[in-house]
Amino acid sequence: MADLPPNVYKKQITNAGSGLFASEAVEPGKEVFRIERPLVSVLNQNHLTTACANCFLWVPENDEDAVGGGNGGEEPKKKKLRACQGCKIVRYCSKDCQTQSWTHSHRHECKIFSKLYPKVLPNTARIVMQLLLRQKANNLHDSEWQAFLALRSHIDDFRSSQNSNEGGLPTWQTIELMSQAASNYSGSKRPMQFIQTLTGRVLVNTLTLTTPTFDPLGLTLSPTASLLNHSCTPNTAITYSGSRLTVRSLCEIPPNTELTISYIDTTNATSIRQTELQDRYFFTCTCPACSTNTTNGKPDEKDHAFEATLVRAIELQNSASSQRPDQAAPLLKQAIDLFAPYSPHRQPYAAILHTAFLNAISRQNWPAAFTYSLRAYFYIDAVHYQPDWHPVRIVRKWVLLRLVVQIAGLASESDPSVEALQKFGVDWQIFAMSLLSDVSEGIPKSHGEDNLFAKEVEGFAGDTGMVGRSVESDVVESEMVKLRRIAEYSVKEVKMLE
């Protein structure tokens, strides 16, 4: 077995295979364990040119891609990535990263990537191929390999699955194609059946590799973290800092409690969550939320009028996705307006709002971006991301803070692009300081003080001169009244902001 961290143990659970349990009590917002370098991590194809293939420092190609704030620590624009001269596929931010990656895995793949250039294998095939090559070359700890082989592959479920690969669901054909590619390019003599079980295991057990601020970068596989089973009300969450994966508690965890994470977007209603878990992971979730048909503490409501609204909104969102940003904006706004009679925490409102926010950022329409972002801040995040230092909530406050700073700068120059917001009389400095204080106070629990994101926030506070400045709560409250007015700005009037 891979050596487990000292404060957790593995145990069999009826109908769920193995799981990880806390051997001692864990307080809220504490690190449960960390994996410095998971067994395999690969970048998505679109990030092979924008992130270091060793430390995963992200160097966004343009500012809109960096709304999540990048990596923390390093100023992304100052770093340059250099392509490996052998394969020209992977890139590195430093010589050290290149050397580490070479020793860890790249020496086995470089020639293969080079032969394929400029084509790149899908990331699942790249993971399986890397495992086969490293195993053959004795460059895998046997304990990690055995721990990986002990995980569920759901190979029979894949074989009999009715999934169609529309929407990116893995199918039996996916297993066959990925396994064939991994086998051919690695030159492995292992039987195809064995390689197919490896592929099934990779599909069921990989986690999304992200920046510290949750921008997806690729896939990661750690046989220890993969032991964490799912709950729609999880007691832990995973964050990354470079290649390091950390599992932190979201609440008080008594000793001998199973540790859980969420595999899916838990803001969706129970029926959607259940379908996704069944289709991707082949199990029926019986967590407290699923058993009571609730979504983050709110009962799932069923009504025909909402269903019709939902269908229309998805249609609008789909047609927006094939348009230029300026043409997509009114369609997205129309979709958002359809939900005016309903509680804002019900999906797909939050998802469409986020798409409209990204669209507004890409058009540099700061008033629209700010309005959408504020609505999420007041009416959505507090429902879906509890406690108030939940890592996703902290990152979203950070994104809002960066937007506020941008608006404050433009407002100080009386820039016409923010004129529509100025009439609300918000003191941008006060809102920025209040957000910064929430983010700075939340990070030790949400991400941990040694996460690169914590360093980025610290640097930002220093650069903007906001270090250690606090604001009286009644002053913040009076700003909140104005801000709520912007967030609640009547649907018709928002036209003006668009």
Ligand X SMILES: C[S@@+](CC[C@H](N)C(=O)[O-])C[C@H]1O[C@@H](n2cnc3c(N)ncnc32)[C@H](O)[C@@H]1O
Angle at which helices 428-446 and 473-487 cross, to 10°: 100
DSSP 263: S
Could you tell me the smallest distance in angstroms from the CB atom of residue 151 to ligand X? Answer: 4
Q: What are phi and psi of 18, to 5 degrees?
A: -95, 160
Q: Is 232 exposed, middle or buried (0-12, 13-18, 19+ CB in 10 A)?
A: buried
**The token pair that represents 307 in the structure block:** 């269903």
SS3 sequence, 126-160? HHHHHHHHHHHCCCCCHHHHHHHHCCCCCHHHHHH
Could you tell me the smallest distance in angstroms from the CB atom of residue 224 to ligand X? Answer: 11
With tokens 């891609």, the residue in question is 65
Can you tell me the distance from the alpha carbon of 89 to that of 110, in angstroms, rounded to the nearest whole number? 9
Residue with smaller CB distance to ligand X, 216 or 409: 216
User: What ranges make up the beta strands (E) of 72-120?
Assistant: 82-83, 91-92
Residue with smaller CB distance to ligand X, 151 or 395: 151
Could you tell me the smallest distance in angstroms from the CB atom of residue 229 to ligand X? Answer: 3
Residue with smaller CB distance to ligand X, 232 or 353: 232
Contact by Cβ (8 Å): 230, 281: yes
Could you tell me the smallest distance in angstroms from the CB atom of residue 22 to ligand X? Answer: 16
Q: What are phi and psi of 444, to 5 degrees?
A: -55, -30
Residue with smaller CB distance to ligand X, 152 or 484: 152
For residue 223, give every residue at least 6 positions away whose Cβ sits within 8 Å of its Cβ, in sequence order, or none. 2, 39, 144, 147, 148, 150, 151, 205
Residue with smaller CB distance to ligand X, 22 or 87: 22
Could you tell me the smallest distance in angstroms from the CB atom of residue 15 to ligand X? Answer: 6
Could you tell me the smallest distance in angstroms from the CB atom of residue 254 to ligand X? Answer: 19
DSSP 102: I
With tokens 């000292």, the residue in question is 6
For residue 106, give every residue at least 6 positions away whose Cβ sits within 8 Å of its Cβ, in sequence order, or none. 53, 84, 90
What is the side-by-side order of every strand in the sheet holding 216-221?
40-43, 216-221, 207-210
Could you tell me the smallest distance in angstroms from the CB atom of residue 226 to ligand X? Answer: 5
Residue with smaller CB distance to ligand X, 199 or 226: 226
Residue with smaller CB distance to ligand X, 98 or 226: 226
Could you tell me the smallest distance in angstroms from the CB atom of residue 383 to ligand X? Answer: 23
Buried b (16+ CB within 10 A) or exposed e, 410-449: bbeeeeeebebbbeeebebbbbbbbbbbbbbebbebbbbe
Residue with smaller CB distance to ligand X, 146 or 417: 146
**The token pair that represents 380 in the structure block:** 């959505």
For residue 286, give every residue at least 6 positions away whose Cβ sits within 8 Å of its Cβ, in sequence order, or none. none
Could you tell me the smallest distance in angstroms from the CB atom of residue 204 to ligand X? Answer: 5
Could you tell me the smallest distance in angstroms from the CB atom of residue 128 to ligand X? Answer: 16
Could you tell me the smallest distance in angstroms from the CB atom of residue 290 to ligand X? Answer: 9
Contact by Cβ (8 Å): 426, 479: yes
Residue with smaller CB distance to ligand X, 43 or 204: 204
Could you tell me the smallest distance in angstroms from the CB atom of residue 19 to ligand X? Answer: 6
Residue with smaller CB distance to ligand X, 14 or 322: 14
Can you tell me the distance from the alpha carbon of 201 to that of 221, in angstroms, rounded to the nearest whole number? 10
Question: What residues line the site for ligand X (CB under 6 A)?
Answer: 15-19, 151-152, 154, 204-205, 226-227, 229-231, 281-283, 285
Residue nearest to ligand X (CB): 17
In sequence order, the β-bridge partners of residue 261 are 230
Residue with smaller CB distance to ligand X, 198 or 285: 285
Residue with smaller CB distance to ligand X, 151 or 353: 151
